[in-house]
Amino acid sequence: MKANKPKWDTPDGHSPLVAFLRQFGALSKEVIEEIDVNTFPLFIKKKKLILKPGAYTDHIYLIVKGVLHGYIKEDGKQVTTWLNSENEIVGALREIGSSNHSDEYLEALEDTFAVAIPLSYTETIFIKYPETNIIGRKLWQYSYHKAIERAFTNRISSAKKKYLRFIETHPNVSNRVPLKYIASYLGITQETLSRIRSKKMKT
């Protein structure tokens, strides 16, 4: 008789969310056990949508391996709102605590392995284990910093400087996704971005 395969096929046998959260503070044995039980692995095929505008969202996701992007549609065109890769939490973060309905599309740009985190559980664990509130605050500070960085990049008028800032802040993404998504994220044309990259490679 074969033994049941462990839920988390990781070196330490725990949800990858445990290692991620340990960047922000210590976790008790009880909290780790809760995380292992209440989060689950999610494999997303390239080009698969896991969120659409108007859809009810009850999870956020930690990217373990892969790239996801968020986008909206304006006049029938995709406008990329963010591009994230490993060790980043994604999902309808702006809707947490409000309607819990997405206003963006969420799509995998590579075959992706993620950890699905129930929103209801994030509320429960903060109440049940008050010490996790410190980690929660640090995590939201981290997310806020990412949002500020996005706003700062948008304020840069030079297309070249925007791109250089992007590859500095997104080193794990710039060579893994089609140019059209990066150009859309930066608010420049794909042709302009191609010229910038071509000149950069010659220097």
Q: What is the pLDDT of residues 52-106, one digit of tens each?
A: 888 888 889 999 999 999 999 998 899 999 999 999 999 865 545 555 567 889 9
- How far is C-alpha 21 from the geometric centre of its chain's CA atoms? 14
Is 160's pLDDT higher than 80? yes
Contact 187, 199 (CB under 8 A): no
Distance from C-alpha of 174 to C-alpha of 102, rounded to nearest angstrom? 26
Residue with the two structure tokens 């859309």: 184
Q: What is the DSSP string of 27-93?
A: --HHHHHHHHHH-EEEEE-TT-EEE-TT-B--EEEEEEES-EEEEEEETTEEEEEEEE-TT-EESSG
The pLDDT tens digits for 36-51 are 999 999 999 999 999 8
The pLDDT tens digits for 9-35 are 888 999 999 999 999 999 999 999 999
Confidence at residue 196, expressed as pLDDT on a 0 to 100 scale: 93
Distance from C-alpha of 81 to C-alpha of 71, rounded to nearest angstrom? 5
Tell me the mean pLDDT in the region 164-184.
93
Is 2's pLDDT higher than 50? no
- Calculate what percentage of the chain has a pLDDT beyond 90: 60
Closest CA relative to residue 82, chosen from 146, 141, 172, 176: 146
The domain made up of 16-155 has a fold known as Jelly Rolls (2.60.120)
pLDDT band at 136 (very low <50, low <70, confident <90, very high): confident
Confidence at residue 92, expressed as pLDDT on a 0 to 100 scale: 62
pTM of structure: 0.88
Tell me the mean pLDDT in the region 148-163.
91
Tell me the mean pLDDT in the region 153-177.
92
Residue with the two structure tokens 């994230």: 84
Tell me the mean pLDDT in the region 152-180.
92
Confidence at residue 203, expressed as pLDDT on a 0 to 100 scale: 59
Distance from C-alpha of 167 to C-alpha of 164, rounded to nearest angstrom? 5
The mean predicted confidence, pLDDT, of the chain is 88
